[in-house]
Amino acid sequence: MDKKITIYINSKEYKVSPNQTIMQAADHLGFHIPRLCYHPKLSIEGACRVCIVEVEGMRNFVASCAYPVSDGMKIHTNTQELRRARRDIVELLVDNHPMDCHTCERDGNCELQRLASSMGIRARHFVGQRKQYGRDLSGQAVIRDPDKCILCGRCVRMCSEIQQVHNLTQAHRGFDTVVMPAYNMPMAESVCTACGQCINVCPTAAFLEKNYTQELFEKLNDPNLIKVAQFAPSVRAAIGEAFGLEAGHNMEGQLVAALRKLGFNYVFDTQFSADLTIMEEATEFLERIQNKGKLPMITSCSSAWMKCMEQFYPDLIENISTCKSPMSMQSALAKTFFAQKIGVDPKKIFSVAAMCCTAKKYEAARPELDVEGMRATDIVVTTREIAWMIKSAGIDFLNIEPETQDHPIGMSSGAGVIFGTTGGVMEASIRTAYELYTGQTLVDIEVESIRGLKGIKEGKVVMDGQEIRVAVAHGLGNACKLLDVVRKDPGRYHFVEIMGCPGGCVGGGGQPYAGVNSIPLDEDALMKRAEALYSIDRAKTIRRSYDNPDIQKLYKEYLQRPGSPIAHKLLHTHYKQKFPQGIIPKEALK
Amino acid sequence: MVEMAQEKMDELRTFIAACMQKEYSDSYLIAVLHKAQELFGYLPVEVMDEVAQRMNIPTAHLWGVATFYHYFNLKPIGKYVISVCLGTACYVKGATEVLEAIKRELGVEIGQTTADNLFTLHEARCLGACGIAPVIMINDKIYGELDAKKVVALINQYRKTAQVA
């Protein structure tokens, strides 16, 4: 244990541990110093100066996020002079910001708004030049609006430190500084993986998902279409937060009911096709093991990870499972199996996915996922968008009578549920692979070693005397670390799960914005969302994908068996190396 | 022409390879960009791509550095770079008239290059030759005690030299 030191905050004496910043010490003691560019998961930038405090004996105010405590330090957090200085700092930020709050998507969810309010800014004293760059709407999923940017740099650090995609930089300098991809290229041509984490950490609306809510309302009012919905596991675990609930409430029944009230004719569940993904993926994995195929096999559910792989790890394409993501499998079935079943022209089926993810918008537009010449998923909306639609349609989400999903592609096992959290796909696959391989049922089906928020997790299962070594990474930065190991030592693992977002899909780029007293991607909140999924799993009597009666029926009536030619046609795909701007083919370098 | 570019590229590659042998090779980024600009006159996108990949530095990071420093040109520059000193002494001695005369004569604004790729116009803060103010610098040569008339004559001299060459 470190020896405690004495500090004084606002003239009161406290004993605290050394080796921490003023802000950290103050947080523990119940003083919340205002802040903007600071995020506990990112490096210290000290750019915004909002968190300044007075330290006796120092000539200037110091940034408390960056300044360490020392013995005998006398700190003031709330003097009049400080309050004025902080208010001026925020006023200057606001001055160079469009004053269009009431038409802004982040209205009511904006950190700058909250900050301005808590500083007591009630008038604008500074009027000067304002930046005007216009929006970059080129991306399928993530749009950039530099006019709203206050240059806190959180997106840049998120993109490079946590995700290691390094798409963003602060280009130019001084007043002309703009956050942009290299060469100011459009997002669509950049290495952006569409993970949407820049949106999650942005305090304002400088990054947003491409919004499809108006288009969707229009389609929902079209009587000639059969509107079919699916929603990802993590949406039910997080959407409550958009309605003011604490993290960790399971809103599955309410969400099904709300989707019906919005006008969907059928409400299915991405968890059904998560079960289906397991059947296909576990079969593919066993085939690779038995026929000495390419190992380790790497999961392919995460759309941001797929784009990341295609541009940064093309040498691993053969390792990637050929399974489509659950969303794309679900949509493929909606337009084939389900259309046949209800006897309608598949062109009349309008397939919508509510996802915790922004990259799914990008995935849905991939031509290789088309089914019989039709786009499989017509519209993807994020948790945030669907929450807004529910509010906008006047549906009393919290008090609505819960309903259940429709057959025949809406019921799921517990394995399909945990797909939404890091380690979940692996755990679900193990449950089924074990049975398929050994013919016996895995008794202890909860695989603890691959649960939790550690960046890279390893585990082992023994199947019929053969040791299967697995690894799990969440967040693209951790994925890169793990894959560098795989590149060097391909024999180390048999099966690798990658999820592009911190915490897995529960921390997806489309999840509700952090509320008033929370921070984006707070680990506690992520854990609570994950726990909501684990508790749904525990409450289910059917916890293995192959026990799902609707899955069994689907194979019997339509797909024959996992890995069959028709399953391959509808449920599998292949990926190709991509060369966004800035990525040159290796051969060209020689 | 293509061959010349290839030669320059090879020289840059050799330079990068040498930097990569050193400790903290990342820290040679600015040196490499200097070299690239010395060779190509500016930083073409293809060159930046290659530098990024060879040095294993994200292109976005490189772009941040290249746009931060005024020294780096992101567009092709003219054969002659004219820097007009707008420091206090030159300003008092009529630098603005000199600048206006150059703008008129060349038909460009600050930061632009003439259509014939002969001249690029820059402004500068004190070139350290206040004694002969107002001064301009053309490439690495200083010219002092100028006025609107003299500077036009000077430009014409450069035009002639370029024709002969």
Q: What is the pLDDT of residue A445?
A: 66
Q: What is the mean pLDDT of chain B?
A: 93
Chain-chain contact of A584 with B60 (C-beta, under 8 angstroms): no
Q: What is the pLDDT of residue A2?
A: 67
B26 and B95, same domain (yes or no): no
Residue B111: count other Cβ atoms within 10 Å of its Cβ.
Answer: 12
Q: Is residue B73 part of a domain?
A: no
- Write out pLDDT tens, residues A439-478: 888 777 677 788 889 999 999 888 888 889 999 999 999 9
B158 and B103, same domain (yes or no): yes
Give 3-state DSSP helix, strand, coil % of chain A, rounded to 5.
45, 15, 45
| Residues of chain B contacting residue A170, judged by C-beta atoms under 8 Å apart | 64
B85 and B53, same domain (yes or no): no
- Write out pLDDT tens, residues B22-44: 999 999 999 999 999 999 989 99
Residue A277 · residue A322 · CB < 8 Å? no
Nearest Cα to A119, choosing from A66, A58, A51, A39? A51
CATH number, domain of B141, equals: 3.40.30.10
Nearest Cα to A151, choosing from A92, A88, A77? A92
B30/chain A closest Cα distance in angstroms: 15
| CB nearest to B54's CB, from A167, A182, A589 | A589
Q: What is the pLDDT of residue A463?
A: 84
B110 and B154, same domain (yes or no): yes
- Mutation target to probe the A interface, by most A beta carbons within 10 A, among B63, B69, B75 is B63
**A302 is an active site residue:** no
Q: Is residue B109 part of a domain?
A: yes
B100 and B24, same domain (yes or no): no
B84 and B126, same domain (yes or no): yes
B106 and B132, same domain (yes or no): yes
B153 and B94, same domain (yes or no): yes
Residue A193 · residue A308 · CB < 8 Å? yes
Task: Please state the ipTM of this predicted complex.
Answer: 0.91
What confidence tier does B2 reach under pLDDT thresholds 50, 70, 90?
low
Q: Is residue B32 part of a domain?
A: yes
SS3 category, A485:
helix
CA dist list (Å): A232 to A73, A235, A355: 50, 5, 5
A166/chain B closest Cα distance in angstroms: 6
B99 and B39, same domain (yes or no): no
DSSP secondary structure letter of residue A162: I
B64 and B90, same domain (yes or no): no
Q: Is residue B142 part of a domain?
A: yes
**A318 is an active site residue:** no
- Residue A182 forms contact with B (CB below 8 Å): yes
Residues A153-174 as b/e (b if ≥16 CB within 10 A, e otherwise) read: bbbbbbbbebbbbbbbbbbbee
Exposed/middle/buried for residue A202 (C-beta within 10 Å: 0-12, 13-18, 19+):
buried
Which domain, by its residues, includes B110?
A: 80-164
A502/chain B closest Cα distance in angstroms: 21
Chain-chain contact of A183 with B45 (C-beta, under 8 angstroms): yes
- List, in order of start, the domains of chain A with CATH numbers: 5-78 (3.10.20.740), 93-209 (3.30.70.20), 214-571 (3.40.50.1780)
| Residues of chain A contacting residue B52, judged by C-beta atoms under 8 Å apart | 182, 582
Residues of chain A with pLDDT under 70: 1-2, 445, 590
Q: Is residue B74 part of a domain?
A: no
Q: Is residue B151 part of a domain?
A: yes
Residue A309 · residue A195 · CB < 8 Å? no
Residue A37 · residue A153 · CB < 8 Å? yes
Does the pTM of the predicted model rise above 0.90? yes
CA distance A396 to A257: 10
- Write out pLDDT tens, residues B133-163: 999 999 989 999 999 999 999 999 999 998 8
CA distance A344 to B77: 64
| pLDDT more than 70, % of chain B | 98
Q: Is residue B75 part of a domain?
A: no
B63 and B94, same domain (yes or no): no
B87 and B64, same domain (yes or no): no
B55/chain A closest Cα distance in angstroms: 12
The owner of tokens 């400790």 is B23
Q: Is residue B159 part of a domain?
A: yes
CB pairs under 8 A between A and B: 50
Catalytic residue from among A45, A241, A281, A427: A281
**A51 is an active site residue:** no
Q: What is the pLDDT of residue A590?
A: 66
Residues of B at the A interface, defined by Cβ within 8 angstroms: 45, 48-50, 52-54, 58-64, 67-68
> Which of B36, B68, B100 delimits the end of a domain?
B68
> Which of B22, B41, B68 delimits the end of a domain?
B68
Write the single-letter amino acid at A459. Answer: G
Number of domains in chain B: 2
Q: What is the pLDDT of residue A197?
A: 97
CB interface of A with B, residues 115-144, below 8 Å: none
